[in-house]
């Protein structure tokens, strides 16, 4: 009874922040005190509770450095003209017949390169949404294609915060995870692409006539060298350098472009790395402003506070009863089905990706003891389900950025197809094992 009250109060705090527009950090802080208070009520001392909380924090500290590097990388890419050049080249693929498919794939490609769904939707997402709107394409469809694209890329990017978090939480290798993510997403990707292509061919729009090149050429030198940060990133990833070294090298390449191609003062470059890119042109700022070390502080705060929960929830026994229900769910729905069910619940409560990753991993560790399978299950459930929750910031922010209706999540086909396909495969595998027994 008490456990239900505590978890209910935490869920209410999360939902109230989502509904009022306040940062979820306040609800997470409230959750920390709720869970600690529960521990005190159950007879655990402050010292013991501190040890429980710090256990999770120690596990997650390495990812804070990765977050900081990602913030500086995205800020430098914006300022160097790299993103502007990539978006300018990609805009030519947006045609009336293939617009939806192009929006899905182009947002996916840029998100894979940058590792940020929010950063991609603010650049490529805004531009593709504007062009599709001018072509007469329904915002419900364009918003769904863009939402699916940015999280398709965010899911399997080597510089993605979510991919890094899953690897750390499950104690698995990031590059191994990436290979398996690509392997498990082939059929859903092809299916989603086919649906977008069919819709576009059956209902072609009209020519948009928007000069994206002119918008960015007024603010940047779109020299061929602006590709270098992306080339460095891809080359070092291919050579399997450490992800930290890869991001540092790509950021340094972007810094050199800022100084010698875009003629930015060194002081401004330093400010960009810390505070983010702040172009003077309002039109360019609307699409490219952001990034920087400071932009990662809220994400780091969410992850650090959330990381205290794993030790508190396990040490105080708060989730023991919930964990006890999951073996039965796994027997009926397969182990993947149990992870999927848990992911839907945790994403609905937590309104982001970070906390559901940690909670789902902790709740399902007995039904999915294989760490590698758990990592891919999290990528195929939590990471793609969170954007589909209407009140989750994972989906609400991108949808608001492109001016699409909330119902556009229904048209984010890839995000639906991926977990459903994996669930089908899980049942097929169970049937095969049953016949072989």
pLDDT value at position 2?
82
> What is the three-class DSSP state of 277?
strand
pLDDT value at position 210?
62
Stronger pLDDT, 356 or 126, i.e. the higher one: 356
Query: Does 117 score more than 60 pLDDT?
Result: yes
pLDDT value at position 208?
54
pTM of the shown model: 0.80
Mean pLDDT for the stretch of residues 115-140:
83
Read off the pLDDT of residues 375-422 as tens digits, 9 standing for 90 and up. Answer: 999 999 999 999 998 777 788 778 877 888 888 999 999 999 999 999
For residue 321 the two structure tokens come to: 């009863």
Distance CA 26, CA 420 (A): 34
Place of tokens 């940690």: 358
Q: How many CB atoms lie within 10 A of CB 67?
A: 19
144 pLDDT band, cuts 50/70/90, is very high
260 pLDDT band, cuts 50/70/90, is very high
Q: Which of 188, 152, 144 is nearest to 412 (CA)?
A: 144
Q: Please tell me the least confidently modeled range out of 71-75, 272-276, 314-318.
A: 314-318
Catalogue the long-range contacts made by 244-253 (C-beta closer than 8 Å, 24 or more residues apart).
244/65, 244/66, 244/69, 246/158, 246/159, 247/66, 247/69, 247/70, 247/72, 247/73, 247/159, 248/69, 250/73, 250/77, 251/69, 251/72, 251/73, 251/76, 253/80, 253/228, 253/229
What percentage of the chain exceeds 90 in pLDDT? 43
pLDDT value at position 313?
79
Chain mean pLDDT for the chain:
88
Question: If you average pLDDT over each of 163-172, 289-298, 346-355, which comes out highest?
Answer: 163-172
Query: Does 207 score more than 70 pLDDT?
Result: no
For residue 18 the two structure tokens come to: 């989502």
Query: Does 178 score more than 90 pLDDT?
Result: yes
For residue 350 the two structure tokens come to: 């937590």
For residue 93 the two structure tokens come to: 């693929």
Distance CA 192, CA 196 (A): 6
pLDDT value at position 6?
87
Read off the pLDDT of residues 32-84 as tens digits, 9 standing for 90 and up. Answer: 999 899 999 988 999 999 998 887 787 777 777 877 888 898 899 989 999 88
Mean pLDDT for the stretch of residues 363-370:
93
pLDDT value at position 299?
78
Query: Any idea where the domains of the chain sit in the sequence?
Result: 2-429
Mean pLDDT for the stretch of residues 307-336:
85
135 pLDDT band, cuts 50/70/90, is confident
Place of tokens 């080249």: 89
pLDDT value at position 335?
95
Taken in order 379, 382, 384, 386, the sign of the CA dihedral is negative
pLDDT value at position 253?
96
Read off the pLDDT of residues 244-257 as tens digits, 9 standing for 90 and up. Answer: 898 899 999 999 99
Query: Does 23 score more than 60 pLDDT?
Result: yes
pLDDT value at position 206?
65
């Amino acid at each position: 009874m008490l456990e239900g009250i505590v978890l209910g109060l935490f869920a209410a705090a999360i939902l109230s922040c989502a509904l009022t527009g306040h940062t979820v950090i306040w609800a997470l802080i409230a959750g920390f005190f709720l869970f600690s208070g529960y521990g005190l009520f159950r007879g655990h001392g402050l010292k013991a509770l501190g040890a429980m909380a710090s256990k999770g924090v120690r596990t997650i500290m390495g990812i804070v450095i990765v977050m900081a590097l990602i913030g500086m990388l995205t800020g430098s890419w914006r300022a160097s003209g790299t993103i502007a050049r990539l978006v300018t080249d990609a805009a030519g693929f947006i045609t009336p017949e293939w617009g939806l498919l192009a929006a899905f794939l182009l947002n996916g490609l840029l998100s894979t390169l940058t590792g940020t769904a929010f950063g991609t939707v603010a650049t490529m997402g805004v531009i593709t949404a504007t062009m599709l709107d001018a072509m007469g394409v329904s915002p419900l469809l364009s918003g769904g294609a863009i939402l699916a694209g940015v999280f398709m890329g965010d899911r399997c990017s080597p510089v993605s915060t979510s991919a890094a978090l899953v690897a750390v939480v499950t104690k698995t290798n990031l590059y191994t995870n990436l290979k398996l993510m690509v392997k498990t997403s082939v059929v859903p990707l092809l299916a989603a692409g086919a649906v977008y292509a069919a819709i576009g061919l059956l209902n072609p729009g009209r020519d948009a006539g928007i000069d994206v090149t002119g918008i960015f050429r007024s603010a940047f030198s779109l020299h061929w060298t602006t590709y270098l940060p992306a080339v460095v990133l891809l080359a070092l990833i291919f050579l399997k350098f450490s992800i930290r070294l890869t991001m540092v090298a790509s950021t340094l390449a972007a810094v050199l472009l800022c100084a010698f191609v875009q003629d930015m003062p060194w002081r401004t470059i330093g400010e960009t790395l810390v505070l983010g890119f702040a172009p003077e042109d309002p039109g360019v700022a609307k699409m490219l402003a952001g990034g920087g070390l400071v932009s990662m502080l809220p994400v780091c705060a969410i992850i650090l506070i959330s990381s205290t929960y794993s030790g508190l929830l396990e040490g105080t026994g708060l989730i023991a009863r919930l964990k006890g229900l999951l073996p039965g769910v796994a027997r009926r729905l397969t182990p993947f089905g149990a992870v999927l069910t848990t992911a839907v619940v945790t994403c609905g409560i937590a309104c982001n990706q970070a906390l559901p990753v940690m909670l789902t991993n902790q709740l399902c560790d007995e039904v999915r003891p294989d760490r590698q399978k758990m990592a891919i299950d999290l990528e195929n459930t939590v990471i793609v389900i969170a954007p589909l929750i209407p009140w989750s910031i994972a989906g609400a922010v991108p949808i608001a950025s492109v001016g699409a209706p909330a119902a556009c999540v229904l048209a984010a086909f890839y995000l639906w197809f991926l977990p459903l396909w994996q669930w089908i495969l899980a049942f097929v595998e169970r049937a095969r094992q049953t016949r072989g027994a």
